[in-house]
Amino acid sequence: MTEAVLLVGGKGTRLQPLTINTPKPMVPAAGVPFLAHQLARARAAGVDHVVLATSYLAEVFEPYFGDGSAHGIRLTYVTEDEPLGTGGAIRSAARALSARPGDPVLVFNGDILTGLDIPDLLLRHERAQADVTLHLTRVADPRAFGLVPTDATGRVLAFTEKPRHPDEIVTDQVNAGCYVFRRQVIDGIPDDRPVSVERETFPGLLADGALLHGVVDGSYWLDLGRPASFVQASADLVRGIVRSPAVPGEPGEYLVLPGAHVERGARLGGGTVVGAGARVGDGADVQGSVVLDGARIEAGAQVRASMVGTGARVGPRTVLDGAVIGDHSEIGADNELREGARIWCGTAIPDAAIRFSAV
Ligand code: GTP
């Protein structure tokens, strides 16, 4: 039996306002909650039991995923009363695992989309006889990540979380948010207080001489923490650039969910998804964007690399480029919202009130 812990309890502050009513892993990407893609990928890798470590908006997961049988996987929910951080959450979730002390346990951050070969990671963990094996990926600008240099054998040498000084940038290998833990290592994490696995557990294990093994992998990898990367991930799933068995349709330039209505004169592309009950008007152009259920894009609007929240309305001829429109907001005609503009849920913006600004 292969078991995994999925960390889904974070507040997702960088993705606000879409995470005000919905926890980040439940925000739809390519037509289904992002978590559905992770579960499908885990299942395809042979994982048969997943413990969901919930905290923020914990109550919304179970009504959707139930016991997991509809997704071909057994799901157990463990909820922290107070958020325990990444390490504390792993420790708390371990209560629900059957794994014995020496068995491997997979741990996934809930906001990572990757084409990683999970069975291969497990194999490398066994071969290295590691205490913890970490998936590492190379990024062009590692400053926003946890740096993890390794030696020629893959042994982890250090952890530098979000380096501030140029001298600290000793590698482009970063923590990719997927681990294999030996079960007994999880049991060593304190269970009575918040713990960060990145800032406390891993550096502590290194200092104690544990074997932490890094596996650098060049497959698709994206951290969905920010709106721009969330939109990108959704578009890549729709287009089949990264494959997920949970996408409700064949790969293509757009995905329109049942119950949506797109006027014949509208243009969709770049991996756009149009949610159930949403409407796209005549002459509207929607590229590389996520239009959530019940949203309306009026005639002649131009939408690019943006997220339009549930039930929101984008007025005629309004331009969105890299914008996030919160649920049930009303954007009037002839506005122009670019460069990371975010509109809070339920906001009403009159016609022609905004040009180019970030809100
Ligand atoms: P930001 O607030 O935007 O940084 O997002 P986040 O809250 O998701 O934090 P971060 O991206 O650092 O978290 C990495 C993963 O761990 C995500 O999948 C979170 O859901 C999860 N996570 C973070 N903190 C906790 C926690 O206290 N409890 C649980 N169960 N999961 C957590």
Q: Stretch 326-343: mean pLDDT, rounded?
A: 96
Ligand 1 mean position, distance from CA 131 (Å)? 23
Ligand 1 mean position, distance from CA 116 (Å)? 20
Residues 139 and 91 in one domain: yes
Give me the pLDDT at residue 359, please: 67
> In ligand 1, which atom is closest to the CA atom of 93?
30
- C-alpha R_g of the chain: 21
Q: 49 lies in a domain?
A: yes
- Reduced to 3 states, what is the DSSP secondary structure of residue 267? strand
Ligand 1 mean position, distance from CA 12 (Å)? 7
AA letter at 50: V
Please give the residue range of the domain that contains residue 285.
253-349
Residues 171 and 270 in one domain: no
Rounded percentage of the chain residues whose pLDDT exceeds 70? 100
Residues 321/326/332/335 CA torsion (nearest 10 deg): -20
Q: 235 lies in a domain?
A: no
> In ligand 1, which atom is closest to the CA atom of 14?
3
Residues 297 and 190 in one domain: no
* DSSP assignment of 157-170: ---EES--SGGG--
Residues 258 and 198 in one domain: no
Residues 85 and 123 in one domain: yes
Pocket lining for ligand 1, CB < 6 angstroms: 7-14, 24, 53-55, 80, 83-86, 89, 109-111, 225
Ligand 1 mean position, distance from CA 359 (Å)? 25
Q: Which of 172, 206, 223 is the endpoint of a domain? A: 223
Residue nearest (by alpha carbon) to ligand 1 atom 27 = 85
Q: Which of 223, 240, 261 is the endpoint of a domain? A: 223
> In ligand 1, which atom is closest to the CA atom of 225?
3
Helices (H) and strands (E) in the chain, counts: 7, 30
Identify each DSSP E strand in 81-223 by its residue range: 104-109, 112-114, 132-138, 146-147, 160-161, 173-182, 212-216, 221-223
Residue nearest (by alpha carbon) to ligand 1 atom 31 = 9
Q: Which of 7, 37, 135 to mutate to test the pocket of ligand 1 (most atoms within 8 A of CB)?
A: 7
Residues 171 and 44 in one domain: yes
Residues 214 and 343 in one domain: no
Q: Which of 223, 239, 273 is the endpoint of a domain? A: 223
Ligand 1 mean position, distance from CA 25 (Å)? 10
Residues 33 and 132 in one domain: yes
Most confident of 23-32, 137-146, 348-357: 23-32
Q: 242 lies in a domain?
A: no
| 122 against 162, higher pLDDT | 122
Q: 236 lies in a domain?
A: no
Residue nearest (by alpha carbon) to ligand 1 atom 29 = 9
Residues 207 and 257 in one domain: no
Q: 194 lies in a domain?
A: yes
* DSSP assignment of 222-256: EETTSHHHHHHHHHHHHHTSS--TTSSS-SSSEEE
Residues 185 and 330 in one domain: no
Domain count for the chain, please give it: 2
Q: What is the pLDDT of residues 195-240, one digit of tens each?
A: 999 999 999 999 999 999 999 999 999 999 999 999 999 999 999 9
Specify the DSSP class assigned to residue 139.
-
Specify the DSSP class assigned to residue 143.
G
Give me the pLDDT at residue 139, please: 94
Read off the pTM: 0.95
Q: What is the pLDDT of residues 66-75, one digit of tens each?
A: 999 999 999 9
Ligand 1 mean position, distance from CA 223 (Å)? 12
Give me the pLDDT at residue 122, please: 97
Q: Kindly report the backbone phi and psi dihedral angles of residue 57, in degrees, each rounded to the nearest multiple of 5, phi listed first.
A: 50, 45
Give me the pLDDT at residue 356, please: 79
Among the ranges given (160-164, 261-265, 272-276), the one the predictor scored with the smallest mean pLDDT = 160-164
Task: Read off the pLDDT band of 3 (50, 70, 90).
Answer: very high
CATH of the domain at 301: 2.160.10.10
Q: Is the dihedral of CA 68, 10, 35, 323 positive or negative?
A: positive
Give me the pLDDT at residue 358, please: 73
Q: 232 lies in a domain?
A: no
Q: 355 lies in a domain?
A: no
Residues 143 and 288 in one domain: no
Q: 26 lies in a domain?
A: yes
CATH of the domain at 78: 3.90.550.10
Residues 35 and 179 in one domain: yes
